[in-house]
Structure 1
Amino acid sequence: MRIRELGIDGAFLVEPKVFPDSRGQFLEVFKQPAFTEAVGHPLTVAQVNCSVSVLGTIRGLHAIHLPGQARYVSCPSGAIRDIVVDIRQGSPTYGRHVVAELSEDNRHALYLAEGLAHGFAALTEQATVFYLCSSTWSPETSFEVNPLDPDLDLPWPRDREPVLSDKDRAAPSLKEAERLGILPSYADCLARYAELATPDGASR
Structure 2
Amino acid sequence: MPGRPDKIANREVSAMRITQLAVSGVFLVEPKVFPDSRGQFLEAFSQPAFEEAIGHPLSIAQVNCSVSSRGTIRGLHANQLPGQARYMTCPAGAIVDIVVDIRVGSPSYGRHVAVELSAANRHALYLAEGLAHGFSPLTDEATVVYLCSTTYSPDTAITINPLDPGLALPWPGGSEPLLSDKDRIAPYLSEAEEFGLLPSYAACRARYDQLSDQALVG
Structure 1 length normalisation: TM-score? Answer: 0.97
Question: Which residue of structure 1 lines up, in the alignment, with residue 110 of structure 2?
Answer: 95
Rounded to whole Å, the distance in 2 between the matches of 1:110 and 1:202 is 27
- Are 2:129 and 1:114 aligned? yes
Question: Which residue of structure 1 lines up, in the alignment, with residue 209 of structure 2?
Answer: 194
Rounded to whole Å, the distance in 2 between the matches of 1:201 and 1:67 is 19
Question: Which residue of structure 1 lines up, in the alignment, with residue 99 of structure 2?
Answer: 84
Question: What residue ranges of structure 1 are gaps of 5+ in the alignment?
Answer: none
**CA shift for structure 1 position 199:** 2.9
Question: Which residue of structure 2 lines up, in the alignment, with residue 128 of structure 1?
Answer: 143
- Are 2:4 and 1:13 aligned? no
Structure 2 length normalisation: TM-score? Answer: 0.91
Aligned-partner residue type, residue 171 of structure 2 = W
- Are 2:18 and 1:3 aligned? yes
Summarize the alignment of residues 168-187 of structure 1 with structure 2, pairs less than 5 Å apart.
168-187=183-202
SS in 2 for 1:140: helix
**CA shift for structure 1 position 40:** 1.1
What are the Cα deviations for residues 109-165 of structure 1, in whole angstroms up to 9, with x where unaligned? 000000000000111111100110001111101120000000000000121111110
Question: Which residue of structure 2 lines up, in the alignment, with residue 27 of structure 1?
Answer: 42
* Contact 2:83/2:130 (8 A) holds in 1: yes
Choose which of 69, 72, 77 in structure 2 pairs with 1:57.
72
**1:39/1:202 CA distance change after superposition, 3 Å:** farther
* Contact 2:101/2:110 (8 A) holds in 1: yes
* Contact 1:56/1:121 (8 A) holds in 2: yes
SS in 1 for 2:206: helix
Aligned-partner residue type, residue 41 of structure 2 = F
Identity %: 70
Question: Which residue of structure 2 lines up, in the alignment, with residue 73 of structure 1?
Answer: 88
Q: Alignment length, in residue pairs? A: 203
Structure 1 segments of 4 or more deviating over 2 A? 199-203
Rounded to whole Å, the distance in 2 between the matches of 1:195 and 1:161 is 43
Aligned-partner residue type, residue 78 of structure 2 = A
**CA shift for structure 1 position 51:** 0.5
Question: Which residue of structure 1 lines up, in the alignment, with residue 10 of structure 2?
Answer: none
